Amino acid sequence: MRSLLLRCSVGYFLQSCGAFPAFRHKRVTQAAVHQLYLQKNMHYLTEERGRPNSHDYRIYFKTSEGKYISPFHDIPLFAGTELENDIPAKKTKKSHTEVLYNMVVEVPRWSNAKMEIATKEPLNPIKQDVKKGKLRYVANIFPHKGYIWNYGALPQTWEDPNHTDKNTACCGDNDPIDVCDIGSQVCHPGQVIQVKVLGILAMIDEGETDWKVIAINSEDPDAENLNSLEDVRKSRPGHLEATVEWFKKYKVPDGKPENTFGFGGKFQEKDFAVEIIQSTHEYWRALVLKQSASGDIECKNVSCCESPFKCSDEKASAVVQSAPAFNSGLPVSPDVDKWHFV
């Protein structure tokens, strides 16, 4: 079975079936110096179902070979980190190659629709969040229009609601860990990009820990030169401050209190961010191995070999086929463009 899968030779099978190589990756992250990790990035496709801007709209994910997957469980956290011993290492300018993470983009920069991985639906498509029966749009907090980064999630991570974070004294928010990509490209929902992690913010949302990883698209022209929060401050003055302000106030127009933060709202550096990501990766691993109480989280996947939730390609395909067919979108209310001064 293993060798058959290895012959398929795609990054996501290797990573997901390789006995959950969390600890191997931990070593990689901490001591990646002097090793050359070749980038073998998978390309993912999406398939829209239902009508855009409606309650039934969904974005499902598949591999380039057309196999349906869950973006939550089947896309590897680490982007193409297989060590290729049999390929001669090319000399690079740097002594090491950066460890990159896959990011599933949910909300493009400058947009308002709160699109998110549906953690409680089979195969976890992206859908628009619904509050009080209405599609959810985040307010424009002056001077911002919608989200001020591409916003999304790191796959194969989970902020365990049964675990109290020692940094925040609050439980996890039951979602994959959130990421803000500060790159220049405006992405689209369902796009999978490779990001370089730069730091992290400990947001506390209604008593739950809700980490916000700060990262940059590895294809951004500035990515090579951004290696720390200090670099971000120099290159993009004001963006980190605006980020804290944004997260503090974005729910106020919806009648919610301001969000608060661990560490007094101070961003933590990259090494700390990597440790937090690693811990959420391990909580996810326990989740898909059914070693944690999963509650109503949907863990169906097609590639995590040791997971009792692994299903056949046919079963995965049936999930997508049962969703409504794609159709033309519905109009969006002009209220989405309203300014809020809070």
Q: How far is the CB of 259 from Mg ion (least distance, A)?
A: 11
Measured in degrees and rounded to the nearest 5, phi and psi for residue 341 equal: -110, 100
Only one of the segments 34-42, 207-215, 251-259, 300-308 lies at the binding site for Mg ion (rule: CB under 5 A); that segment is: 207-215
**Of 74, 178, 181, 298, which one interacts with Mg ion (CB under 5 A)?**
178
- Residue numbers 12-71 binding Mg ion by CB under 5 A: none
Only one of the segments 13-21, 84-92, 178-186, 273-281 lies at the binding site for Mg ion (rule: CB under 5 A); that segment is: 178-186
Only one of the segments 64-72, 127-135, 168-176, 249-257 lies at the binding site for Mg ion (rule: CB under 5 A); that segment is: 168-176
**Which lies closer to Mg ion via its Cβ, residue 181 or residue 210?**
210
**Which lies closer to Mg ion via its Cβ, residue 21 or residue 155?**
155
**Of 165, 181, 210, 298, which one interacts with Mg ion (CB under 5 A)?**
210
**Which lies closer to Mg ion via its Cβ, residue 13 or residue 151?**
151
Measured in degrees and rounded to the nearest 5, phi and psi for residue 336 equal: -60, -25
**Which lies closer to Mg ion via its Cβ, residue 21 or residue 172?**
172
CA distances (Å), origin 326, targets 47, 110, 111, 302, 319: 9, 25, 22, 24, 15
Quick one: DSSP state of residue 333?
A: P
Q: How far is the CB of 175 from Mg ion (least distance, A)?
A: 4
Q: How far is the CB of 208 from Mg ion (least distance, A)?
A: 8
User: Residue by residue, what is the 3-state secondary structure of 258-304?
Assistant: CCEEHHHHCCEEHHHHHHHHHHHHHHHHHHHCCCCCCCCCCCCECCC
Count of residues that bind Mg ion according to CB under 5 A: 4
- Contact between 116 and Mg ion (CB under 5 A)? no
- Contact between 175 and Mg ion (CB under 5 A)? yes
**Which lies closer to Mg ion via its Cβ, residue 154 or residue 223?**
154
CA distances (Å), origin 93, targets 36, 97, 203, 224, 270: 12, 10, 37, 12, 22
Q: How far is the CB of 313 from Mg ion (least distance, A)?
A: 30
Give the sign of the dihedral formed by CA 224, CA 230, CA 235, CA 236.
Answer: positive
Q: How far is the CB of 178 from Mg ion (least distance, A)?
A: 4
**Which lies closer to Mg ion via its Cβ, residue 175 or residue 220?**
175
- Contact between 160 and Mg ion (CB under 5 A)? no
**Which lies closer to Mg ion via its Cβ, residue 249 or residue 310?**
249
Only one of the segments 104-112, 124-132, 202-210, 252-260 lies at the binding site for Mg ion (rule: CB under 5 A); that segment is: 202-210
Question: Are 226 and 198 contacting, i.e. CB atoms less than 8 angstroms apart?
Answer: yes
**Secondary structure of residue 202 in the 3-state scheme:** strand
**Which lies closer to Mg ion via its Cβ, residue 78 or residue 151?**
151
Per the listing, tokens 């961010």 go with 273
Question: Are 287 and 160 contacting, i.e. CB atoms less than 8 angstroms apart?
Answer: yes
Only one of the segments 8-16, 112-120, 167-175, 183-191 lies at the binding site for Mg ion (rule: CB under 5 A); that segment is: 167-175
Strand bridging mode 339-340 / 140-141: parallel
Which residues are within 8 A (CB) of 9 and not within 5 positions of it... i.e. 6 or more apart?
none
Q: How far is the CB of 71 from Mg ion (least distance, A)?
A: 15
**Of 116, 165, 173, 298, which one interacts with Mg ion (CB under 5 A)?**
173
The tokens for 215 are 């990262």
Question: Are 188 and 212 contacting, i.e. CB atoms less than 8 angstroms apart?
Answer: no
Specify which residues 199 forms β-bridges with. 214, 269
Residue ranges that bind Mg ion, judged by CB under 5 A = 173, 175, 178, 210
